[in-house]
Amino acid sequence: MAKDKRKRSRPDAPVSPGPTEPPATAPMPEGVVIAGKLPLDAGGATHQTVAAGYPTLTTQQGVPIADDQNHLKVGPRGPMLMQDFHFREKIFHFDHERIPERVVHARGYGAHGFFETTASLSKVTRADLFQRVGQRTPVFVRFSTVAGSKGSFDLARDVRGFAVKFYTEEGNWDLVGNNIPVFFIQDAIKFPDIIHSVKPEPDRAFPQAQSAHDNFWDFISLTPESMHMIMWIMSDRAIPRSYRFMEGFGVHTFRFVDARGKSTFVKFHWKPKLGLQSVCWNEAVKINGADPDFHRRDLWNAINAGAFPEWELGVQLFDDAFAERFDFDVLDPTKLIPEEILPVRIVGRLVLNRMPDNFFADTEQVAFCTQNVVPGIDFSDDPLLQGRNFSYLDTQLKRLGSPNFTHLPINAPRCPFAHFQQDGHMATMNPKGRANYEPNSWGPEVGGPREDPQRGYRHFAQETAGPKIAARSDTFGDHYSQARQFYISQEPIEQKHLGDALVFELSKVERPDIRERMVSHLRNIDPGLAGNVATGLGIRLPPAMKALRKPIELPTSDALSIVRRGPGRFEGRKLGVLVTDGASAATVNALQSAVLEAGGMVEIIAPKISGAMLDDDTLLPAQQKIDGGPSVLYDAVAIVVSEEGASLLQKDAPTKDFISDAFAHCKFIGYVAAAQPLLERAGIADSLDEGCIALADEDVGSFIARLGELRLWSREPGVDADA
């Protein structure tokens, strides 16, 4: 797309300078001047110009900086220029500021598997792995959180990395994505800033793996382009129940290129076979205390049990004509294309079937780089993607200590390869022969590899022209429309959770002006949401933040809701069964059989880890002792106790919490008659609803039939004081 011919805007025209007064609802520290309509910038990011008492922002060499919001490119929508020394220095320093763990995505977990092509894409791409139905390509997948360190917990409210390394017949392709299809920023030059803001504050080194603090929300409230991502990160998408129950996205617009050199735009989607599922915030907090390795353990257990996690790969394919008429710029990484407008076409499946033999060798040493593509796959001019392509190689060099990180088995191609790169730290192989340069006139025995014009990688021959300029296209200027679309596409219970998350996060912010400034943005997204958050914070509703571009009303999208597209089955989920000595063997056996038949798992919790002696004199081994197996670890629970066992547990605090938490988290609860004293002790005996189902001996059918719903969300208003 050399030019954007949409009549509604002039994307190649920079925005004229026009400083305005800061909004009355968003007071700033004394002396800071905020420019509303920015010089050479239509992105809406806030420039903070020099004022009394503030030093001038410079490079490390002392060169004053005129624009810290946009990298240098060919025209407002064009590719990055390597001569942008400020961007290179900023990213270079950011990439090197942690040793040895990753700066972002430090806490990760990975597995081996394969990708199988189920629909040929030979008409739109020459990429070998998409040519033949049934072809299998080895893969390594790494899931991760973004903000926390290696030692943080799994269930932080955070973006989840979803990175896939394909070992194709024509080299390695890295699809380095997330479980959220958009991102906080539009230009890669702002990546150090968003990550610095969310990391522990530098003067105190906390909070860890949390965004609920002043620095993060200060940055976000000054960066309107982040509002769409904020809706996702404050939703239940940011606290998934399992890696197995979350989607993945390539985030950016990429290109497929066919054998004739024709380009088709593509966006990548991973759809979990077991459906989407998340947890409640209170549940996440308790899971992190009970098992900070919850997601890791879940993936390990599933693969080692033979319940191999699976996702479908879907693509959204479109041409320049679609890009021209779409309401938003397809190069803007803060925007998505709704599935109702452009359906996702399923073209393959991803199966994870083997854990690494050594965590460090594979999961820690794997090096993903967005610029690792194969013939038939190319990039768009998305300014965030362009910056990632520059940054990742430098990051891996610093983290792994050598340009020879591709010599590590996890990073090495599994197809034939040959080049003239030699020596260096940790070199485990070097080219053979006399020649270590090209071109050369030596024969095949010693002359080394040669170019292959037919099979070799060729970039798409894109026409591009424009001035050298650090700017942002004004087609990136709508920051609220898709944020609102996401919010109104949620079910009421999901909207409530999103609002609760905003209140919780902003309640941890110490500065009132940051809270107010954030709520003023919310007014542009949904008045009801803004009002609820203001009420929850106990503040007066501020005026709406001035929008760079007037939002447009978009239709709802079912694909954006977790609840609306729930799995409707218990497959892959876990039932926790609390048992005591003397419990009904018939009931326990019936539960186990029915859950296994539904594709689920059963875990036994007992007063002692040795298990419980059932009423048929068989010893049932336990996987968890009651104080080590809280109900937050399970998708539903059953209480199968004897009268004597219930009497012994009646004064046990962990047992009380096991039941009361399951009820508070809207889970389905099965119980035998002997459990009545425990229900009373937990304070729910008078509140039993349709999600609390009596188990009568071997008749567990009515209970099992409900488990596919996963939660009885209608219960929440009765158990949440803020509802």
Alpha-carbon span 126 to 130, nearest angstrom: 8
Alpha-carbon span 196 to 218, nearest angstrom: 12
Alpha-carbon span 295 to 155, nearest angstrom: 8
The answer to whether 130 and 121 are in contact (CB under 8 A) is yes
Q: Comparing C-alpha atoms, which of 239, 241, 233 is closest to residue 272? A: 241
Q: Comparing C-alpha atoms, which of 616, 606, 591 is closest to residue 668? A: 591
Q: Comparing C-alpha atoms, which of 192, 94, 109, 96 is closest to residue 150? A: 109
Name the pairing type of β-strands 248-249 and 601-606: unpaired
> Dihedral sign, CA of 561, 157, 385, 227?
positive
Query: HSE on the CB side for 31, CA within 13 Å?
Result: 6
Q: Strands of 516-645 (E only): list them.
A: 574-579, 601-606, 612-613, 619-620, 624-625, 636-640
CA 609 to chain CA centroid, nearest Å? 36
3-state SS, residue 396: helix
3-state SS, residue 377: strand
Element (H, E) at 124: none
Instruction: Return the bridge partners of 266, or none.
Output: 254, 317
Phi, psi (rounded to 5 degrees) for 229: -60, -35
Name the pairing type of β-strands 574-579 and 601-606: parallel
List Cβ neighbours of 370 (8 Å cut-off, separation of 6 or more): 174, 176, 385, 388, 389, 392
The DSSP code sequence of 409-431 is: TTTS-SS---------TT-----
Given 70, 172, 178, 288, which residue is catalytic?
178
Phi, psi (rounded to 5 degrees) for 174: -105, 115
Given 71, 105, 228, 269, which residue is catalytic?
105
Instruction: Pull the structure tokens for residue 435.
Output: 């020649």
Alpha-carbon span 275 to 246, nearest angstrom: 7
CA angle 285, 309, 703 (to 5 degrees): 65
Cis ω before 100 (30° cut-off from 0): yes
Q: How far, CA to CA in Å, does 52 sit from each of 29, 33, 283?
A: 12, 10, 48
Residue 178 among the catalytic residues = yes
Residues forming the active site: 105, 178
